[in-house]
A and B are shown apart, each in its own frame.
Chain A
């Protein structure tokens, strides 16, 4: 069965420190992976997807098929990065997405 695991409920780092939010997935097919973000009082929105291989707001994520991981990284955290982050896996003809349980990132000044 398809599954997305985010092992950390809360991650707290100091401003300027590196950030890594972990995500592991379970899927027998070819995965399509995303990171979604929800800032305080805003709607959930797409941050980045693995197929585009781009950096958004300084964040990158590399798909590692051997380790079935899609960790989100940023070299220098900023206070405005504080938010809830969800890793997500897309599959199926109607492109259902299953979400991980989320990691709350808190950046300390």
Chain B
């Protein structure tokens, strides 16, 4: 059973703070993703990674950065949080090398509020 965990369910930060959101998966998946989920906008891809130390920008990377030092861990960093980054953040992982399956498995989400 795939397990994707996120470090916090709820987070409240002040404008200008540096924020770290952590995601860990235990299924040896190659790909990891960070999305934000907003009502009426669906899920929008922020960044993704297809290998350790590799990353690619998604559709809305501005104001965010990521880090993938180990295969199982993918971190999202808000360098200087702003109120328009208040949102639900979802992490996902996919693709084990031995399986031809790109289903994405999601974490429970982190609801971030920036005040």
Contact = CB atoms under 8 A, between A and B. Distances in A.
B103 interface: yes
Interface residues of A, number: 22
10 contacts: A32-B102, A43-B106, A44-B92, A44-B106, A45-B106, A46-B103, A46-B104, A86-B43, A96-B48, A99-B44
A93 B44 CA distance: 19
Contact of B42 (A49, A90, A100): A100
B56 interface: yes
A90 B108 CA distance: 22
Nearest to A98: B45
Interface in A65-109: 86, 90, 93-102
Interface string A43-64: 1111001000000000000000
Nearest to B90: A44
Contacts of A86: 42-43
B40 A9 contact: yes
Contacts of A90: 102
A30 to B, nearest CB: 14
Q: Which of B59, B103, B104 has the most CB of A within 10 A?
A: B104
Contact of B31 (A43, A44, A95): A95
Interface string B57-99: 0110000000000000000000000000000001010110000
Interface of B is mostly: strand
Contacts of A101: 40-42
Interface of A: 6, 9, 32, 34, 36, 43-46, 49, 86, 90, 93-102
Given A95-B94, A96-B45, A101-B42, A43 B102 contact: no
Contact of B102 (A44, A95, A100): A95
Nearest to B51: A94
A55 to B, nearest CB: 17
A93 B31 CA distance: 11
Given A44-B90, A95-B31, A95-B95, A102 B42 contact: yes
